[in-house]
A and B are shown apart, each in its own frame.
Chain A
């Protein structure tokens, strides 16, 4: 089974760009999905299939995936973006879903 590695925390000033990484061997060969979770709330899908945004998700959220690292990028960060962010993939061998450990985004 895969282990997805995320930094525990990322801090960014308002208006700047935040990058949250998710790593494992050959993650570039997988579809990576990203979720935002605010305290006391259910997760929300913000990026699917590496780079696609569900309707209602601002264009400030984007994703990329290559080689051994997938990245969630949030431009023009706002206070409301402060949350935990999780990456997730499908293990095609077991059909299990695998989550990264999560990254707490702090807006300074």
Chain B
């Protein structure tokens, strides 16, 4: 069955960096775009970023543009989110999600919590 497993979350000070990973299994990794979606404590879902299946295209929410980058490694079936210049408002559970043709998110990981606090 399809699995997406995030890791790398934790507590980090404002202004520091953190890299999240998402290990994927049970589908052909290089065939599908992948996304990051976050959810601040007690709040709604907030799309963060997408990377195309071949890494040729990525796009970011305005709130993270210029601070976050996304990449993927087909040899490891892993998606990454590099988060720089972190702010307290970046505190959230970060989910990776598999794109479904038509724009929906077909499968989600369980998420990893990032807390930005001094």
Interface residues of A (CB under 8 A from B): 31, 33, 35, 37, 41-45, 48-49, 54, 84, 86, 88-90, 94-102
| Docked pose: A48 CA to B104 CA in angstroms | 7
Known contacts: A33-B103, A89-B103. The answer to whether A97 contacts B108 by CB under 8 A is no
Give the contacts of B71-102 with A (CB-CB under 8 A).
Answer: 95, 100, 102
In the bound complex, CA of A95 to CA of B47 (Å): 11
Cβ–Cβ contact A99 & B46, under 8 A: yes
Which residues on A sit within 8 Å (CB–CB) of B109?
42
The answer to whether A90 and B45 touch across the interface, beta carbons within 8 angstroms, is: no
Q: Select from chain A the residue with minimum beta-carbon distance to B109.
A: A42
CB pair A99–B44 under 8 Å, yes or no, is yes
Is chain B's interface secondary structure helix, strand, loop, or mixed overall?
strand
Interface pair A45/B110, CB less than 8 Å apart: no
Report how far A20 CA is from B50 CA in the complex, Å.
28
Cβ-Cβ contact count across A and B, 8 Å cutoff: 64
**How close is A1's CB to chain B, nearest CB, in angstroms?**
8
Which of B44, B50, B95 is A102 in contact with, Cβ under 8 Å? Answer: B44
B78 to chain A, nearest CB (A): 18
A96 to B45: give the CA distance in the assembly, Å. Answer: 13
A98: chain B residues at CB < 8 Å are 47
| With contact pairs A97-B35, A97-B50 given, residues A48 and B45 touching in the complex (Cβ less than 8 Å) | no
**Nearest Cβ in chain A — how far from B25, in angstroms?**
16
Known: A42-B95, A42-B110, A94-B59. A99 touches B102 (CB 8 A): no
Cβ contact within 8 Å between B102 and A97: no
Contacts of B11 in A (CB 8 A): none
Instruction: Write out the residue numbers on chain B whose beta carbons fall within 8 Å of the beta carbon of A43.
Output: 45, 95, 105, 108
